[in-house]
Amino acid sequence: MTEPRPSEPPPYVVDQMISAKAIAARVEDLAAEITTAFAGTRKLVVVGLLRGSFVFIADLVREIDLPVEVDFLEASSYGDALESSREVRILKDLRGEIAGRDVLVVEDIVDTGFTLHHVKNLLLSRGPKRLEICALLDKPARREVPIKATWTGFEIPDEFVVGYGIDYGQRNRNLPFIGKVRFTGAG
């Protein structure tokens, strides 16, 4: 299913918030903790939530010193807007089975918590042996559903951010750093 082409947003600039270097250092730490936590696993199924986690998961798995399998799931709550719709739909399901397996869900941002809450319950219903969550960013001030990732890269204030895989209306995913969107239009 295709989506409508994103409309032109009002003019904005992106102010750097977390540098590429700071992200790389944190990803290394997270991967070390994950490697320790899942030591002895036969294979870790790393589940990336599309599309925002694609850069993060690519960097993270290359630092995890365990046998891994990579799978993807796409849930949608934002569309191209700045606000969560609070209604989570599964647009693309996993290809593999996770029953009885060690699973790490990788998310870009936990905001209201609706997405992760829904995805976590869905995956838990399939009977994994163990399921943990690693989120790059967390905006605790915005939480509406109580959920916390096992590992969080950075806690950030209530700002709309882009870069390192994260978009605003499908823009800016290719920025190597994370920055906040600042609108520049008059009025």
Q: Which residues are catalytic?
A: 111
Pick the piece of the chain touching ligand IMP (CB under 6 A) from 17-25, 26-34, 123-131, 160-168. Answer: 160-168
Q: Is residue 73 within 8 Å of residue 182, measured between CB atoms?
A: no
DSSP the chain: ---PPPPPPPPEEEEEEE-HHHHHHHHHHHHHHHHHHTTT-S-EEEEEEETTTHHHHHHHHTT--S-EEEEEEEEES-TTSSS--S--EEEE--SS--TTSEEEEEEEEESSSHHHHHHHHHHHTT--SEEEEEEEEE-GGG-SS----SEEEEE--S--EEBTTB-BTTBSTT-SSEEEEEE-S--
> Between 20 and 88, whose beta carbon lies closer to ligand IMP?
88
Contacted entry of Mg ion, ligand IMP, none for residue 72, CB cut-off 5 to 8 Å set by kind: none
> Between 52 and 128, whose beta carbon lies closer to Mg ion?
52
Pick the piece of the chain touching ligand IMP (CB under 6 A) from 34-42, 59-67, 97-105, 108-116. Answer: 108-116
Kindly list the residues in this chain that would bind Mg ion in the complex (CB under 5 A): 52
Contacted entry of Mg ion, ligand IMP, none for residue 35, CB cut-off 5 to 8 Å set by kind: none
Pick the piece of the chain touching ligand IMP (CB under 6 A) from 10-18, 35-43, 54-62, 155-163. Answer: 155-163
Site string for ligand IMP, 51-90 (x = CB under 6 A): -x------------------------xx-----x------
Interacting residue ranges for ligand IMP, rule: CB under 6 A = 52, 77-78, 84, 107-116, 160-162, 166
